[in-house]
Amino acid sequence: MESKKLLILVATMTGTALMAAEDIAEYCSENDIETKIIEIDNTDIKVLTEVKSPVLICSSTYGQGDVPDSAQNFYNKLKELSPNLNHIRYALFGLGDMTYRDTFAYGGKKFTDLLDSLNATKIGDPFYHDASDGTLPEEVAVDWFVNNIKEYI
Ligand SMILES: Cc1cc2nc3c(=O)[nH]c(=O)nc-3n(C[C@H](O)[C@H](O)[C@H](O)COP(=O)(O)O)c2cc1C
């Protein structure tokens, strides 16, 4: 049987989203799912247009509800070129802070809105972590993945 694969794209400012991604990747490696983590930073949008496996996007939120600085070129390029992504199945783990009430987790939400508009298919329910709720994203990320996403990989 061909092994299961998952591409994890991380958009982070201070590394929290990466920690959550790494914990999910560790769980995957122990459960026969091959993962590749790419931190978005002037990354070519080819990673999405050419991907064959399902994709997990882990993105935090900065500025006034924006994707992290390092991911802005990628996000803007994707929006500008608007490739058809109907071959993609993707899951979303967003990070934010309810203290920013009006823009809570908009970084991740911007990615889902854009991918949906490019015909990608969402798998499972997106999760939006609230940094003010007393949990750490990496504590809840694996449970979310196991209970909502794993079956679709
Ligand atoms: C300057 C600054 C701006 C932020 N803006 C928002 C925001 O608009 N909406 C939101 O939900 N969270 C916002 N956050 C919270 C971060 O998204 C949250 O702390 C997240 O866990 C950081 O993840 P990272 O380390 O992967 O970048 C902001 C944090 C900082 C420091």
What's the pLDDT score for residue 3? 86
For ligand 1, is residue 96 a contact (CB within 6 Å)? yes
What's the pLDDT score for residue 36? 98
The pLDDT profile of the chain, 153 residues, written as one tens digit per residue, is 678 999 999 999 999 999 999 999 999 999 999 999 999 998 999 999 999 999 999 999 999 999 999 999 999 999 999 999 999 999 999 999 999 999 999 999 999 999 999 999 999 999 999 999 999 999 899 999 999 999 999
CA distance 152 to 105: 24
Task: Quote the distance between the C-alpha of residue 143 and its chain's center.
Answer: 16
CATH number of the CATH domain containing 114: 3.40.50.360
Number of structural domains the chain divides into: 1
Determine the structural domain holding residue 33 and report its residue range: 4-152
Question: Both tokens of residue 4?
Answer: 């299961």
What's the pLDDT score for residue 55? 98
Q: Are 108 and 134 in contact (CB under 8 A)?
A: no
Residue of 13, 37, 139 best suited for mutating to test ligand 1, as the one with most atoms within 8 Å of CB: 13
Question: Both tokens of residue 74?
Answer: 């990628």
Model pTM above 0.95 = yes
